[in-house]
Structure 1
Amino acid sequence: MIEISLGKLVLLALIALIVLGPEKLPHAARTAGALVRRLRAGWDSVRAEVERELEIEDLKRTAREAAARAEAMQAEMNKAARETREHVATTAADVHSSIAETRNDVAEAVASKEAPHGTV
């Protein structure tokens, strides 16, 4: 805030004593002190409000960053799930194909054993 050195304070006190006189000086000093206290309280209130606003903005920024990270992670997880589904579908198709081939081979083997050996 405002910084007043000891020399300036003494000079102000002497000027106030000369201008106001010894009778009015104590009342003026109390009034000035009350004014300074109100100014400081107001200044502290404004400073605290600004600090709260800055903290709120910081929290909002942190929340936005966290939401962006969550969206990125969700997209990554969706991609991994899609790739896994595709891999499972490919593997299932391969298994079904292998099963069908095995069934055909078994059917052919059974048919060849049941067929008479004399036919060419």
Structure 2
Amino acid sequence: MFDIGFTELMIIAIVGLVVIGPERLPKVARTVGHMLGRLQRYVGDVKSDIQREMHLEDLKKLQKEMTDSARDLENGLRTQAASVKADLDDTAKAVGGAAAGVAAENSIAAPADDALAALKDAERAIAQTVADDIAASQAPPPRDDNQLDLGLDAEASATPPKKESKA
């Protein structure tokens, strides 16, 4: 990173020895090492927080896009249903008869209402799937079940082992 060679390190060590003194030099070097370690951990934590926030932001953006596309689909289907209903109403009126008009309106209204209900159910399912994906991304990692069970849990330690009796 800094392109420091062995000779530069030796010069720095000699200057440090002269300026700080041989008694305090190990203590100062240890303190500097601890501070550098803390700095590296802090930088790593900040990087992981930033990455987590970016991932969360991407998931929120995806959820918004899915909700918008579901809304667009719902609006498109409603317009289609309204235009089909209007066409069928016009056709029913053209065929004539009040009874035929009433029967056609009832037969059209039920499928249109069923289509709108199915559309709302699909929108809820999409929103739930996106919410589940976001929740799954924030869940803790799964437990590793490949570990050997030693039976050291609380229940096993509470009950004493049974002694075999000779009969």
TM-score (normalised: structure 2): 0.49
The structure carrying a bigger helix percent of its residues is: 1
Q: Which is greater in Rg?
A: 1
**Ranges in structure 1 where 5+ consecutive residues have no aligned partner:** 101-120
The number of aligned residues is: 97
Quote how far apart the aligned CAs of 1:38 are: 0.5
Partner of 1:6: 4
Q: For residues 50 and 11 of structure 2, what CA distance do their matches in structure 1 show?
A: 35
Partner of 2:111: none
Quote how far apart the aligned CAs of 1:10 are: 4.1
TM-score (normalised: structure 1): 0.65
Over the matched positions of the two proteins, sequence identity in percent amounts to 31
Quote how far apart the aligned CAs of 1:9 are: 4.1
Change (3 A) 1:29 1:90: same
RMSD between superposed Cα atoms in Å: 2.4
- CA deviations 1:48-104 (Å, max 9, x no partner) are 21222222222222222222212111111111111111122233334445xx9xxxx
The letter of the residue matching 2:47 is R
Q: For residues 42 and 80 of structure 2, what CA distance do their matches in structure 1 show?
A: 57
Partner of 1:47: 47
**Ranges in structure 2 where 5+ consecutive residues have no aligned partner:** 101-167
Q: For residues 93 and 28 of structure 2, what CA distance do their matches in structure 1 show?
A: 96
Change (3 A) 1:5 1:11: farther
